[in-house]
Amino acid sequence: MFVGVLECDVLVSPAEPVHSLKHKRAVIRPVIVKLRRLEVAVTEAGDPDRLARALIGVATVSGSVDQVHRVLDTCERQVAGEVELQMLSTRRRIIGEQDED
């Protein structure tokens, strides 16, 4: 079994300043809904006081490491393609059989 985790650090609405948490959530929520359609676990993480930034966390599990990479690649492309977000950085971790507690 392999577990894949993707963290996407994004700038929210780079063309228009975010002035409220409500506005930030209105931009992030549809992205999370789209990612969940890919049958992954998704959450918005990071510092909620930073209105212009968000950390989107994605997790998936599979018996194949190649499948984990394919799913995380798809999720990364999905986030990078969002018009109202600018991808600042990503971080990926794969946990597999060789990893110990």
Torsion angle of alpha carbons 13, 31, 50, 41, nearest 10°?
Answer: -160
Domain that holds residue 11: 2-95
Does some domain include residue 18? yes
101 inside domain:
no
The string of pLDDT tens digits covering residues 22-31 is: 888 888 999 9
Rounded-to-integer distance, Cα 6 and Cα 91, Å: 6
pLDDT, residue 101, reads 52
**Does 100 reside within a domain?**
no
In a domain, 38, yes or no: yes
The total number of structural domains that make up the chain: 1
Tokens of 59: 């997790």
Q: How far apart are CA 101 and CA 65, in angstroms?
A: 19
Of 58, 54, 78, whose CA–CA distance to 68 is shortest?
58
20-76 residue pLDDT tens:
888 888 889 999 999 999 999 999 987 877 888 999 999 999 999 999 999 999 999
